Every structure is written in C-alpha cells, then in structure tokens.
Amino acid sequence: MRRCAFLLATACLMLACGGSSGSNASPRPSGSPSTSPSPATSPSQAPISGVYGLILSAGTLQLIKPDASVAATAPVAGPTARYCSTQQDALNGAPPVSASNDQVYFRDGDTKIRKLAPPAGAVDVTTVPGGSNTVSFFSVSPDDQRIAVLVEDLSGATAIGLRLYVEDLVGGGHHADIYSTSTPKGKTGTTLWPMGWHQGALVLAVVPACVFEAVGLQPTEWHLSNAATGARLATIRGANCILSTWPSAAGVGCMDPQGVTTLYDWAGKVVSVTGPGIQGAGSTTSLSPAGQSIFFSTGITLGSTPTTRIVQLGPGPFATLQGHAACGWIDEDHLLAGDAVIQFPAETPGNVQVTATATPLEASGLCAGRFPGGL
C-alpha cells in the first residue's frame, strides 16, 4: 500500500529532482492565488496517432508503445510547491499530464502548459497559476478547445484553498470560476483532480490532499460535473471496495476483497456486478479502455513482490503476473507498469487462466495516463 500511497506524490518529487467538495458552484475565495493564466498562442501541430502509455521517468515524459519502445519524449520540470505544511507532509500531486484525442499536454515547472512535439520537444500553449505556495492540476478537453484547472492555495496555516476554473485552452477566453472551497491540511482533507472529460462534462477524482504515512491514494469518489457551472451531475462512491485509480471511457470499477467487481458508468449507474473473481484485489486498479477487463496490482511493501492480477469481465481469461505492478492500460491487450509493458492475451476464449508476459522499459518511472485521453 505504501508504494501506491506515495505514487503520484513521488512523481512530483522525481520531477523536482531531474475537503471536501460540493455539488454546486460557489464564489471565488478571497484568498485565491494572485497569479492568473495569461493568453498564449499555440502553433499548429499535426495530431499524434496510435495508442500509448504515458510515463514520467527522471524528469522526462515518455510515450510508450505497446511493444515497450519509446515513441516520443519531452523534459518536464517539477513544481516548486511540494509540501502541504512546515511538517513536510507531502503534497498529493496529480499527474502533470493530460491527453486529448490527438495531443499530449503537460505542466512544465510551476506555470507553463506545453504540448508534446514528437519525437523530442514541446511547444508552449498556455499558463496556469503556480509558485512557492500555489500548484495547479489540469485536464484538456478531448477536442483541444478547453482546459479545466484546479488551483491549490497552500499559503494558509491550517487549510488549503481550492478553486476550479474552465477556460479556452488557447488565449484564456471564456474564463469561468465554477467551484471553490477550502479543505483541512490534516488527514481528513481532500482535493479534486481533473482527470478527463466525458461528453463535455468534467471527470473529477476525490483524493487526499496531503500524504501521511501509508494513506491510500485510491479515489474515495468520482464526480461528473458540469463544465460551465460546476454542478454535480453524478457521484460514484464505493462501499467496502477499491475504486478505479484511473478513469476509463467505460467508467470505473470497484472490487471487493473477494473479487466481486461493480461496474459504474459515467452517469453513476451500476452497469453490472461480476465475480467473485480473483481474490486479494490490490492497491491500484482500473478498467480497460473498452471496459472489457480490469486489473489489480500491489506494489513493493516491506519487501513483498509486486503483483498484477488481470481478469476479462464476462467471465473471460484471467492471469496473475509477479514481479511487475501495473499502473494503467495502453489498450485492451497491454498494460503499463512502472518498469515494463505487460501483455495480456484478452482474446483467449473461456474462463481460463492465461499467461501474461512483461517486456522491460528502457527506463522505469511512474504512470501519467494514456493516449488518446478522451472519455
């Protein structure tokens, strides 16, 4: 659990080295950061094609092909803000990466939002608030037209100010602050991560704002919110099960220790309940892009072996792979781990055990999503 607990917080530290939430919009807080987005002009660029896993490795963003080779790279600087308070409890940072349906964007340092320019490079697109006491997490719409930004103001002694806004990706027009609140800096504080867009609405993960000891990093809820008003459209929360760590176009899953998996669509409705399946669950989980399969992985905890369990829902084939902990999907047959690409023979007929194999990556790192990113 500890590896999962510090997964994305560690991403912020790696880059540096190389609450609650409501259902409706509220006024902008008086203590919101003074730094504001500035207009930018984005050069035209050919769309990126194919499917990739996104990984952050020693200050570099990499696009990983299903065969584990690297398709493109760009250097990424970490944010200045790394801690919630003077006690140095780690800031729980969302991946500084967002994929649309034809481009990959990332936050470079505190304020720059840049677009990957394969095979190695990037161009400036816009800016977001950032600095020693401010950090922003973002998601670009699948059509590259809009950007949603969650700004955390860390300057308060006991609370973090949260502000969610949406505006045009290029130029910063049509800016709207759609939600604001504050959350404690203690163990009860939660924040919102913009993790994608579904049919024009925002997909938000509710996660701990700060990392203490072995606090689990799994979202406690998933929200679908109106991108113009902030009004909550749907809420997905699990009961005695582990919610998907990463969103899928099919929705999210929630698996209990007996392997019973509940599938939710983005309307918050239960689509199906499967299982019992592979028992033991894991600390990181996600539905495949088409929602046909689900994985559960455990990382390194007190010397234990990383393990990934994969099952095609239906029921279908299933596999257990030791030595690698999956952290996301590339496509229906390939998963991304921090050190390898895992191949899962999902087309095998029947509810039978199959053999999953792993191809090592050139350099290990941390998952930052997948391309294309539309939900």
DSSP assignment letter at 120 = B
Angle (CA) 278 260 322, round 5°: 25
Where is average pLDDT lowest: 151-165, 229-243, 330-344?
Answer: 229-243
Mean predicted confidence (pLDDT) in 58-73: 97
pLDDT in tens, 261-277: 899 999 999 998 876 55
The yes-or-no verdict on residue 288 having pLDDT over 70 is yes
Q: What's residue 281's pLDDT?
A: 54
Q: Which domains, and CATH codes, for the chain?
A: 2-34+50-371 (2.130.10)
Q: Based on the number of CB atoms within 10 Å of its own CB, is 123 exposed (0-12), middle (13-18) or buried (19 or more)?
A: middle
Mean predicted confidence (pLDDT) in 131-160: 97
From 128, 65, 40, 54, select the one nearest 98 (Cα to Cα).
Answer: 54
The yes-or-no verdict on residue 354 having pLDDT over 70 is yes
The yes-or-no verdict on residue 355 having pLDDT over 50 is yes
By percentage, how much of the chain surpasses pLDDT 90? 69
Which of residues 257 and 297 earns the better pLDDT score? 297
Mean predicted confidence (pLDDT) in 121-137: 97
By percentage, how much of the chain surpasses pLDDT 70? 83
Q: What's residue 238's pLDDT?
A: 82
Q: What's residue 282's pLDDT?
A: 61
Q: How many residues does the chain have?
A: 375
How is residue 132 written in tokens? Answer: 């020693």
The yes-or-no verdict on residue 90 having pLDDT over 70 is yes
Residue type, 225: S
Would you call 311 helix, strand, or coil by DSSP? strand
CB atoms within 10 A of CB 88: 9
Q: What's residue 108's pLDDT?
A: 98
Mean predicted confidence (pLDDT) in 350-354: 93
Q: What's residue 284's pLDDT?
A: 84
User: Which residues on neighbouring strands pair with residue 310, listed in sequence order?
Assistant: 295, 319
Mean predicted confidence (pLDDT) in 61-90: 93
Non-local CB neighbours of 166 within 8 Å, separated by 6+ positions: 146, 147, 148, 149, 174, 175, 176, 178, 202, 227, 228
Q: Confidence band (pLDDT; 50, 70, 90) for 160?
A: very high
The yes-or-no verdict on residue 200 having pLDDT over 90 is yes
Q: Based on the number of CB atoms within 10 Å of its own CB, is 139 exposed (0-12), middle (13-18) or buried (19 or more)?
A: buried
pLDDT in tens, 44-57: 578 999 999 999 99
Q: What's residue 41's pLDDT?
A: 42
pLDDT in tens, 93-108: 999 999 999 999 999 9
Q: Based on the number of CB atoms within 10 Å of its own CB, is 309 exposed (0-12), middle (13-18) or buried (19 or more)?
A: buried
Q: How far apart are the first and last CA of the chain?
A: 28
Q: Give dist(CA 128, CA 113) in Å, integer.
A: 7
Q: Confidence band (pLDDT; 50, 70, 90) for 110?
A: very high
Q: Mean pLDDT over all residues of the chain?
A: 86
CB atoms within 10 A of CB 92: 25
Q: Give dist(CA 179, CA 25) in Å, integer.
A: 4
pLDDT in tens, 4-35: 433 444 444 445 444 334 333 333 333 333 33
